Amino acid sequence: MFKKTTLNNKLRIITIPLKNVNTVTFLVLVGTGSKYEGREINGISHFLEHMFFKGTAKRPDTLAIAETLDRVGGAYNAFTSKDVTGYWAKVDKKHQDVALDWISDIFLNSKLEQKELEKEKGVIIEEFNMYLDTPTAYIGDLWEKVLYGDQPAGWLVIGEKENILNMSREKIVDYFSKHYSAKNTLICVAGNISPKAAEAKVKKYFKDINTTPVSDKKRVVESQGKPESLIYFKDTDQTHLCLGVRAYNSSHPDRFALGLLATILGGNMSSRLFIKVREKRGLAYYVRTSAEENNDTGWLSTQAGVDHKNIEEVIKLVLEEYKSLKNNLITKEELQKAKDYAKGSMTLSLESSDTQAFFYAEQELLRKKIMTPEDIFKKIDQVSINGINKVAKDIFKPEKLNLAVIGPFKDKEKFDKLLTI
């Protein structure tokens, strides 16, 4: 069972003992990301994350930082999203002190040197270019752009090239001092540990963490009165689409029904859209539906990659299933299959120390409330056939429809005409 402790400086520590694993994962989450940025510094959260791997006084360069955990066969990385930035390390339980020393060192003592910053600009530009050349990933960015437009929720996490090239040490240090604080930081330790000993060690290693006040992000503005689309012209071998609707945030009471609805639509290989679009029609290799629930926004969307000539047909097929769920009740068997899939896949995903760490830490940081798997299973079991239909009627409305497309198209009006339900 997990244990949460809040220190006097507001730093939160979560320990999760797992007797049947031989690993330990340390995860440091900070409640900041691209939604906390202004236009002129968009991309700075991600840039700062990169700079944490460039050297400390104890480990003066990238090689020294990388070798620390490479020498013990550890796994480690970092990530930045709209709402959170995270750093993690997973090691054999006998090397947990090495991992804790390493992660606290890069988090507290990174030098953030100007020369390294200048070199990293090239690295991030190439990362930017990689995303542009990966439509299956970039379509998600365009989807959020069509949803939220010119506000932080609609901007790229990585930032635009101009901002990347204009990044300075002064901006980086200022952002770090204002957004990295004990008050919005959570440290999670999961694995083969003694919770009491692990907590004591975290207190020791992070005793010098910044304690300055932090400001909240700007409220996301959601305003839509008709279907919207965004067409990104690119001479690709296939067209990639993301079609869906605005939905619920992570505190909405119907979010569990929303998740099951997404599973029924396109969450697995026996889902409606997988069978209809791929297996029966042979129109796509990948087609999937998912629900995203952030603490202030949410949506349901279907993604697929299709032949250019089939794009209109696939859009119509997806909308047909949306409409069918709104106008007809699902079967008892279909609901039970979705529930069993949701519970089973969660159980499988939580077998390792790193997924346990992320499961509990992200709930605490983003939702301010932790539900155990058993708590979530109870909520899933409470969803009814009528509950699914209620959600479908609520979200599948013309004024909530949105579409993002990557492919060799320029006629936006053609796609707008398809968005009826």
The closest of 340, 371, 374 to 267, measured between CA atoms, is 340
Burial class, 282, CB count within 10 angstroms (exposed 0-12 / middle 13-18 / buried 19+):
exposed
170, two tokens: 């002064």
Active site residue 160: no
Angle at 279 between CA 278 and CA 282, to 5 degrees: 55
The one-letter amino acid at 357: A
CB 205 within 8 A of CB 104: yes
Q: Choose the catalytic residue: 37, 49, 144, 321.
A: 49
Query: Which residue is it, tokens 């963490």?
Result: 209
287 φ, ψ (degrees, to nearest 5): -150, 125
Calculated CA dihedral for residues 16, 20, 24, 29, nearest 10 degrees: -40
Buried b (16+ CB within 10 A) or exposed e, 23-34: bbbbbbbbbbbb
What is the spatial distance between Cα 302 and Cα 319, in angstroms, rounded to a whole number? 10
Helices (H), 19-110: 44-51, 62-70, 96-109
- Cα 248 to chain centroid distance, Å, stands at 15
Q: Which amino acid would we find at residue 46? A: H
Please report the DSSP string for 68-102 in residue order: HHHTTT-EEEEEE-SS-EEEEEEEEGGGHHHHHHH
* Phi and psi based region of residue 282 (left: phi greater than 0; alpha: psi -120 to 50; beta: remaining): left
Q: Which residues are catalytic?
A: 49
